[in-house]
Amino acid sequence: MRILPLTLAALVLAVPVTAAETPAKVTVALANFSFTPADLHLHAGHPVTIHFVNNGSGGHDFTAADFFAAATMDAANRARVGGTKGRISLGKGESSDVTLVPRAGTYKAHCSHFMHSSLGMTGKVIVD
Ligand SMILES: [Cu+2]
């Protein structure tokens, strides 16, 4: 059977020469009533996996609609941030990972729960 080796050769040739860049990993911790870090620094154009974890005693979210809208991500990650809502909502003890390629800019972030931003749940995402 000669067709199999040819098929395998075609598959090997189809693999891109340069492997995709492995995403960096950063963690954003949500608590009562803060984000840590409050200012998240990311590198423009480089993929990153942001691990959001809620260490608070109740529900919190990380809302950064402009940041998520400007970033490039696949459909699964876009769904994870609620599409155009640009929000990661986490119950107590929950976590969620979002992988994206950020675009340069400075973006505001806050928790949308009632009064939480005035209690300190605000932050920035700085991409450069
Ligand atoms: Cu909150």
Identify the CA nearest to 71 among candidates 40, 34, 31: 40
Q: What is the rounded distance in angstroms from the CA atom of residue 121 to the CA atom of residue 111?
A: 6
Interval between CA 87 and ligand 1 midpoint (Å): 12
User: Model confidence at 20, in pLDDT bands (50, 70, 90)?
Assistant: confident
**Any idea what the Cα angle at residue 46 is, between residues 41 and 47, rounded to 5°?**
95
Model's pTM, two decimal places? Answer: 0.85
* pLDDT score recorded for residue 19: 66
User: Model confidence at 81, in pLDDT bands (50, 70, 90)?
Assistant: very high
Interval between CA 14 and ligand 1 midpoint (Å): 47
Interval between CA 112 and ligand 1 midpoint (Å): 7
pLDDT tens column, 25-64: 999 999 999 999 999 999 999 999 999 999 999 999 999 9
21-127, superfamily in CATH? Answer: Cupredoxins -  blue copper proteins (2.60.40.420)
